[in-house]
Structure 1
Amino acid sequence: MSRSLKAGPRKATPEMVREANPPMGFEPILSNSPFGWENGPIFERTDDQGRERGFRIAERHINAGGACHGGMIMTFADILLATAVFEVAEPPFVTVRLTTDFIGPAFQGEWLSGRAGAKLAGEGMIAVEGTMKVDDRVIATASGLFKALRPR
């Protein structure tokens, strides 16, 4: 079985951005993996509260119950928490643990966004926490532990 080569960083096309219709100030992030590309586009903006990431929930993100699939929320949580890791560590780093608590549902067409914060935990480990919302409605919280693979 052959392995395909990594496609390299890609940015959402103008059509993808139009379809996602992100709120004011959100710009598409670079997708560094085929997996991220297939599940995006993910957007980011920076304001006086720091970085915020988000995505428009599309039909491909919906589970059999009609809500955003928990796997997509966890995928977004991993991407969101990694955003905060950049504040305290240089890449590359990997997710060691990711815990997601599902608080409420999110539905197709809604804008799901979140913010996260990180702190060094010693031995190259970074502890991270984040919250994901639709408007003021908390959808999920996440906490994780990342490992920096190279010292800063």
Structure 2
Amino acid sequence: MAEQATVWPDGVIDVIEGPWAGWRTWGELDAFESMVGPFYWRAGADGAIRCAFRAEPRHMNASGFMHGGCLMTFADYSAFAIGMSALGDDWSVTAAFNAEFVGAVSAGALVEAGGEVIRGGRSLVFIRGLVTADGDPALSFSVVAKKAARRS
């Protein structure tokens, strides 16, 4: 990450310089997401979590549009950011993931996601959201996150 940042003990990174100043990320916590991203999140004035990243040529498929796997990886990341309050400090994993591709994403687009927790229980949290590209719908998704013990 080229930007200057503050790193918290829980691994959350506050970006303080560059184009993503004011956003947060989990940095290198997930090696796969770090390779595909970086992805960012922040809470709006209403407390709702928004996630974002900029589409780059490396994210495109042979047709010149964003690879579906990249969109789904970002949606999965976004689900856990959106569900943070319901997931608490518990380690959690994706138990179910559903997605519908509803639009294409071109290189250079600002890709964003928002959503809501539908229900949070003792062990399962149900989350749904929408990924947009420059404001146009690209992917709708729903995730069931399972609270689980962390494995080494």
2:40 is the alignment partner of 1:43:
yes
Question: Counterpart in 2 of 1:104?
Answer: 103
Question: Counterpart in 2 of 1:34?
Answer: 31
- Residue-by-residue CA offset, 1:29-61 (whole Å, 9 max, x unaligned): 022121111111112222124110011011110
- Give the aligned length: 134
Question: Counterpart in 2 of 1:6?
Answer: none
- Check the 8 A contact 2:38/2:53 in 1, yes or no: yes
- Check the 8 A contact 1:62/1:107 in 2, yes or no: yes
Distance 1:26 1:56 in 2: 15
Structure 1 residue runs of 5 or longer lacking an equivalent are: 1-11
Question: Counterpart in 1 of 2:9?
Answer: none
Question: Counterpart in 2 of 1:130?
Answer: 129
Tell me the percent identity.
22
Q: Kindly report structure 1 stretches of 4+ aligned residues shifted beyond 4 Å.
A: none
Pairs within 5 Å for 1:4-23: 12-14=1-3, 21-22=19-20
What is the TM-score normalised by the length of structure 2?
0.79
Root mean square deviation, CA, Å: 2.1
What is the TM-score normalised by the length of structure 1?
0.79
Distance 1:63 1:45 in 2: 28
**SS state at 2:103 partner:** coil
Question: In the TM superposition, what is the alpha-carbon distance from 1:134 to its structure 2 partner?
Answer: 1.8
- Give the residue type in structure 1 aligned to 2:25: I
